[in-house]
Amino acid sequence: MTIPTEPIGSIPRPRELQAAMAAHEAGKIDDAALAEVQQRAVSGTVHRLEEIGSPVVTDGEQSKPSFVTYPIAGLSTLAPGGVAIPFADGHQRQLPVLTAGPFRYQAHAADYLRAAQAHATAPVKQAVIAPSAMSLLYPAAGIDGYSREAFLTDLINEAEADIRGCLDAGAPVVQLDFTEARLSLKLDPSGGILDQFIELNNLVLERFSPEERARIGIHTCPGGDQDSTHSLDVDYTELLPKLLQLKAGNFYVQLASEPDPDKVLAVIAEYLPAGARIFVGVIDPIDPAVETPEQVRDRVLAAARHLPVDRLGTCDDCGFSPFADDTSTSRETAFAKIRARVEGTALAAEQLGV
């Protein structure tokens, strides 16, 4: 594959795993029984991606409770009532709030990576949550004896360790999920929150060498959950100039669901960082229709009119099931869409002569 193509992350969980999660929640099975089912789901996901011909695979986040909460699952110093994330269809997800320090990750992404590598022959990429998302855990009222500055110091250290652990374990690329970027402009149109997010994420990225940052990517999208988004109505052109200031080597940009992709591509081309690769979204996980390889090819060719082909890649707009309980898209539909991405990218590469 001369134009690289990569999955973003989550794949809908099989029915066996959905049932096991419900049984575990109800206290009917223990942690070990759940872990056994999770590992079967990881193995099955990796093997299906390899059968499709995906040059890079993931574990499909089969063992994660969600793309955002995996580092804090089981943390005792949490309370309900944190930041609420409203979606266009009326439902919402709500983060917990931290009640005491010091802040420490309870799980690290490298553990998920190594579990997937045990089943894979292809390279395994790993998604991690951006530190900016974790920063939302700190309450506006503060925490007695644990300042926001102390929390951010701990968070930066933990986020660095999460990324570095994946690089050290052999991930060809580590992807920071930064879905809150676009949402921040809905919450604060002035861009102040986004500026804080960019600054915080760069404080982490600056701890890595240029060679390491070439293996780190940033994913942005308008959110995806239960076939709805939280910020698709926010103009991408307000986000991208700032997003592309992040010190990463790869950017994974939702594009297939954009109403005016040429407008977005023109902004990306204008602000494209030196040496960075742009992975454009050519698959819409929310659309129930499965794209054809020819549709994907045409989306790649459209992107190539704006961006240098040697700095172009393809991806899905978002994960297919970022939260473990999201069953809005079937597992078979997800794999069919991924196959179309792989085959369509190859068609585009052939037509472009690369």
94-124 pLDDT tens trace: 899 999 999 999 999 999 999 999 999 999 9
Which range (88-92, 194-198, 223-227, 297-301) has the least confidence? 223-227
Is the confidence at residue 91, as pLDDT, over 90?
no
Q: 203-217: per-residue pLDDT in tens?
A: 999 999 999 999 999
- CA-to-CA dists, residue 58 to 54, 116, 128, 132, 172, angstroms: 10, 7, 12, 23, 11
Of residues 350 and 234, more confidence is placed in: 350
pLDDT in tens, 24-74: 999 999 999 999 999 999 999 999 999 999 999 999 999 998 888 899 999
Q: Region 223-244: what's the mean pLDDT? A: 87
Q: With pLDDT > 70 as the criterion, what percentage of the chain qualifies?
A: 100
pLDDT (tens digit, 9 = 90+) per residue, 268-303? Answer: 999 999 999 999 999 999 999 999 999 999 999 999
CA gap 181, 169 in Å, rounded: 28
- The model carries a pTM of 0.95
Q: Give the pLDDT score at 225.
A: 78
pLDDT digit string, tens, across residues 144-163:
999 999 999 999 999 999 99
